[in-house]
Amino acid sequence: MLLRIISIFLISTVLIAGCNHHPSDDETTYLPPGGYVPNESTAIAIAKAVWIPIYGKEQIESEAPFVATLKNGAWYVHGSLPKGYMGGTAEAVISKRDGKILRVIHGE
């Protein structure tokens, strides 16, 4: 009888320990083959979503059209100024793989 109780206890312990397994982030997150930011339009949409709360919708809209260039696994996104204008535009660097915002600035 004691052997049966010990056996049940050990089996239960192993089963409970298996149920508490927490997969790592790599096991639980789907990563698209092209990364979360696969193209220029997605990079621009993310950059605008970050810039607008910081610099204001009117300011950001005045800097269209936007350009995104992929370099070393990161999208470099910036606005444009009309010809003859002096100054800078909003800039963002976004990881192609995971969408992480690596840098946000506004040129002068």
Give pLDDT tens digits for 16-71: 555 555 555 556 788 899 999 999 999 999 999 999 999 999 999 999 999 999 99
Widest CA span in the chain: 92
Global pTM reads 0.72
- Round to whole Å and give the CA distance between 95 and 18: 35
- Round to whole Å and give the CA distance between 92 and 68: 9
Q: For position 8, what pLDDT does the model report? A: 61
pLDDT classification of 76: cutoffs 50, 70, 90? very high
Query: Which residues make beta-bridge pairs with 77?
Result: 68, 92
Find all residues with CB under 8 Å of 59, minimum gap 6, and list them: 90
Using alpha carbons only, give the angle 2, 7, 10 rounded to the nearest 5 degrees.
125
Q: For position 97, what pLDDT does the model report? A: 96
Q: For position 65, what pLDDT does the model report? A: 96
User: In terms of Cα–Cα distance, which of 46, 26, 27, 49 is closest to 37?
Assistant: 46
